């Protein structure tokens, strides 16, 4: 990747995370903003790449980048059961017409999205511990965290591209990368006072980590 590229990656064979300068610019990261949306946006991306080291593919490589199953059998089985919850969830989402997400194809990215935002939320809470966080524009800090995350997936995609990506792209469509993740976070439901049973507050949430 070149420096101005707006992207990030985890390389399991090198066990490293790479962030070009392009993704560390507004509107994705804004040094003049308060911490909440920056953690929700860029923090979520950093957490996403870190979590790739422990998703369905990354976990098969050890710390030296060798293809080796270093997990215990019990941990591997538990991971597969929890990950299946996410795969089943995303497989219900309609991309366009009657085309649904292939939850097995997108599993690694979906797991990393959820794990990454959970890491970002914990990191933000730790970073701002003891601080008095104020309302801004009528929004609580927690609400601004999740709005920052949601804004990171604002996009416009042609229908033709949606159909193509449904077949080949290991990433879920951007709108589901936002809503699918926060649906599984109690922290989101508490921030926006969602009642259990509401569309984005299911009684049963998926959780890998």
Rounded Cα distance between 201 and 34, Å, is: 27
Average pLDDT over every residue of 170-178: 97
pLDDT of residue 183: 96
Its pTM stands at 0.94
pLDDT of residue 98: 94
Q: Which class for 93: exposed (0-12), middle (13-18), buried (19 or more C-beta within 10 A)? A: middle
Residue 167: inside a domain: yes
Mean of pLDDT over the chain: 95
Residue 204: inside a domain: no
Task: Name residue 96's beta-bridge partners.
Answer: 99
Q: What does the angle CA 176 – CA 177 – CA 182 come to, to the nearest 5 degrees?
A: 90
CB-CB neighbours of 72 under 10 Å: 9
Residue 152: inside a domain: yes
CATH number of the domain that residue 144 is part of: 3.40.390.10
Judged by DSSP in three states, 22 sits in: helix
Residue 209: inside a domain: no
Per-residue pLDDT of 14-46, as tens digits, reads 999 999 999 999 999 999 999 999 999 999 999
| Residues with active-site annotation | 49, 113
Residue 23: inside a domain: no
pLDDT of residue 74: 96
Non-local CB neighbours of 13 within 8 Å, separated by 6+ positions: 61, 65
Helix spans in 128-171 (H): 141-151, 159-168
Residue 5: inside a domain: no
Q: How confident is the model at residue 177 (pLDDT cuts 50, 70, 90)?
A: very high
Residue 11: inside a domain: no
* Best CA proximity match to 44, nearest among 127, 112, 117: 117
Residue 47: inside a domain: yes
Tokens representing residue 142 in the block: 């927690």
Non-local CB neighbours of 18 within 8 Å, separated by 6+ positions: 1, 8, 9, 10, 11, 49
| The pairing of beta strand 99-100 with beta strand 94-96 | antiparallel
Q: In terms of residue numbers, what domain contains 135?
A: 29-58+70-191
pLDDT of residue 209: 83
Q: Which class for 86: exposed (0-12), middle (13-18), buried (19 or more C-beta within 10 A)? A: buried
Average pLDDT over every residue of 69-79: 95
**Percent of the chain, pLDDT > 70?**
100
Judged by DSSP in three states, 27 sits in: coil
Q: Which class for 156: exposed (0-12), middle (13-18), buried (19 or more C-beta within 10 A)? A: exposed
Q: How confident is the model at residue 160 (pLDDT cuts 50, 70, 90)?
A: very high
Q: How many domains does the chain have?
A: 1
pLDDT of residue 193: 96
Q: How confident is the model at residue 88 (pLDDT cuts 50, 70, 90)?
A: very high
pLDDT of residue 49: 97
Average pLDDT over every residue of 108-134: 96
């Amino acid at each position: 990747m070149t420096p101005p590229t707006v992207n990030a990656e985890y390389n399991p064979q090198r066990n490293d995370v790479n962030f070009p300068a392009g993704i560390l610019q507004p509107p994705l990261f804004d040094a003049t903003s308060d911490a909440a949306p920056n953690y929700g946006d860029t923090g979520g991306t950093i957490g996403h790449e870190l979590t790739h080291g422990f998703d369905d593919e990354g976990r098969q490589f050890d710390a030296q980048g060798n293809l080796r199953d270093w997990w215990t059998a019990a941990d591997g089985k538990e991971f597969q059961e929890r990950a299946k919850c996410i795969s089943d969830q995303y497989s219900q989402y309609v991309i366009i017409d009657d085309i649904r997400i292939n939850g097995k194809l997108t599993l690694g990215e979906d797991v990393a999205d959820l794990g990454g935002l959970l890491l970002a939320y914990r990191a933000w809470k730790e970073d701002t511990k003891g601080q008095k966080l104020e309302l801004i524009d009528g929004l609580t800090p927690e609400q601004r965290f999740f709005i920052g995350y949601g804004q990171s997936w604002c996009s416009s995609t042609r229908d033709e591209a949606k159909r193509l990506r449904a077949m080949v792209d290991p990433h879920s469509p951007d709108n589901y990368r936002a809503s699918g993740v926060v649906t599984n976070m109690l922290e989101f439901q508490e921030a926006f006072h969602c009642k259990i049973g509401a569309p984005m507050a299911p009684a049963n949430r998926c959780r890998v980590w």
